[in-house]
Amino acid sequence: MLEGKRVLLVISGGIAAYKTLDLIRRLRERGVGVRTVMTEGATHLVTPLAVAALAGNRVATDMWELTPEGEIGHIHLAREPDLVVVAPATANLLAKMAHGIADDLASTLLLATDRPVLVAPAMNVVMWEKPVTQSNLATLRARGVRQVGPGVGSMACKESGAGRMAEVAEIVAAIEAILVPAGPLAGRRALVTSGPTHEPIDPVRFIGNRSSGKQGHAVAAALAGVGAEVTLVSGPVALLDPPGVRTVHVETAREMLAACEAALPVEVAVCAAAVADWRPAEALAHKRKKCEQPVGAIALVENPDILATLSAAGERRPRLVIGFAAETEDLEGNARAKLRRKGCDWLVANDVSPGSGTFGGERNTVLLVTAHELERWPTMGKAEVALRLVERIAGHLRG
C-alpha cells in the first residue's frame, strides 16, 4: 500500500528516539523512501550513523553545514516528501511548531513544508498534562496537523501515565491512513469491544479483571487506519481514545451489550473485551460493611453473553464475528470449544498464563482459530497483532 511513497522523518530529542530505528525499518520494508532529520538532542540518544544505515541515505542535522545544504537544501527537503512525520515529537518541538519558531533545521523544515504533517508526541506525563502542551496540540490540530498517540504506561523516567510514544505499528498504520486514505475497508462499518467490565457490589467495590484494553484499542485503531468506520465500546481503561474512532464508554456488561446492539448493523465485530461472566444480583446503595454479611454471601447472577448474542443476531448479524479467549491452559482445546459454543466465525486465543505478561503488557501470543484453520502467531507487540488481524479481516471481506 505504501510502495513508492516518500516520508521525511524528523527525530527530536526524546528517549523514545530509539524506536525510530524500527520505524525506519518497517517503512523501508513497505517500499517507502525515508529521508531523516535529527535535532541536536536526538543525536545524543541514537547515532546518525545508525539512522543513516537503516534509511539508506545521509542524515540532515545542521542547517549551516554547507555540503548537505548545497546538495539538498532545507526547502527541497521540506517540499520533497509525501508526508512529514515527527517522532518522537517532544513538548519543546511541538511548542516551536505551534508558535512558528524556526531556530534549527528541524523547526525550519516544519515551518517551510507544505506537506501533511503527522506528530507522535512523547514526553513525561506531567509535561503532557500541562495546559500549555494541550493548548499547543489543539492549535496544531486546528491547523491540520495529524496526531498518533501518545499511549499510557510506564516510562523511562520511572513514572507512569499518558505520554509514551505510540508503538511503531500504530505509527505505520497512521501513516497508511494518511497516504492511502481509501484503505481496503473504506466505507465498511466495524464494531470493537475492549477492556474489562466492572460489576458493582456497592458504590465502592466491584467485580472486575486485569484486562488493560490495549489489544482491543489497537484493533480499533488498526481498523480505522485502513478506512473502516469504527465504533469502539470500551470498559474502564487507562487509555486514550484511538484517533479516528467513535468511542463509547461503559462500565458493566449490560451497558456494553446495549452499546453493541445500538451500533448494529456492522460488517465486522471484534469482541476483544474481557467481559465479567457474573455480577452481583443486587448492587447495594451504600458501602457494604464487613460485619453485615458473612464472607461469600454475595449472590451472583450470570451476565449476558455479548459474543454469543452478536453471533446469533439474525438479520442484524455482522458478516464476520471474531471473539477473543483469555486462557491459562490448553489454549487450542479451549479455543476450539469456545468457537463452537459461541457460534462466532473466528476466535483469537490469548495466552494469559502467569508470567506471560499479556494482561497489561505490550506483547501478546495468540492462536487464530476458525472452523477449518489454526494459525499459531509468534509473540509480537499488540499493535502488530492488531495489524495482522486486520489484514486477515480485509482479505476475508474482499473474498
For residues 194 and 213, the answer to whether their CB atoms sit within 8 Å is yes
Q: What is the pLDDT of residues 202-243, one digit of tens each?
A: 888 899 998 999 999 999 999 988 889 999 999 999 888 887
Active site residue 157: yes
> What is the per-residue pLDDT for 192?
98
All structural domains of the chain: 6-179 (3.40.50.1950), 189-398 (3.40.50.10300)
- CA-to-CA dists, residue 374 to 198, 251, 368, angstroms: 32, 33, 6
What is the mean pLDDT of the segment spanning 275-285? 89
126 pLDDT more than 60: yes
What is the mean pLDDT of the segment spanning 346-366? 77
Mean pLDDT estimate for the chain: 89
What is the mean pLDDT of the segment spanning 174-194? 87
Write down the pTM of the prediction.
0.65
Instruction: Tell me the percentage of the chain whose pLDDT exceeds 70.
Output: 92
295 pLDDT more than 70: no
Q: What is the pLDDT of residues 296-327, one digit of tens each?
A: 678 899 999 999 999 998 999 999 999 999 88
Q: Considering the candidates 157, 260, 271, 344, report the single residue annotated as catalytic.
A: 157
Q: Say how many CA atoms lie within 13 Å of 314 toward its Cβ.
A: 2
Q: Where are the alpha helices (DSSP H) in the chain?
A: 19-29, 40-43, 48-55, 66-71, 74-79, 91-99, 105-112, 125-129, 131-142, 168-179, 214-225, 253-263, 306-311, 331-342, 382-398
> What is the per-residue pLDDT for 76?
76
The grid coordinates listed for 369 are: 482459530
> What is the per-residue pLDDT for 363?
81
Instruction: Tell me the percentage of the chain whose pLDDT exceeds 90.
Output: 61
> What is the per-residue pLDDT for 187?
83
8 pLDDT more than 70: yes
pLDDT class of 157 with cuts at 50, 70, 90: low
> What is the per-residue pLDDT for 306?
97
The distance from CA 131 to its chain's CA centroid, rounded to whole angstroms, is: 24
Rg, C-alpha atoms of the chain: 23
pLDDT class of 357 with cuts at 50, 70, 90: low
Q: Say how many CA atoms lie within 13 Å of 322 toward its Cβ.
A: 27
291 pLDDT more than 70: no
Q: What is the pLDDT of residues 27-80, one digit of tens each?
A: 999 999 999 999 999 999 999 999 999 999 999 988 777 555 555 566 778 888
146 pLDDT more than 80: yes
Show the CA angle centred on residue 320, arms to residues 353 and 197, nearest 5°.
45
What is the mean pLDDT of the segment spanning 258-281? 95
Give the phi and the psi of residue 156 in degrees, each rounded to 5. -65, -25
Better-scored residue on pLDDT, 289 or 121? 121
> What is the per-residue pLDDT for 68?
56
**Dist. CA 304–CA 52, nearest whole Å:** 55
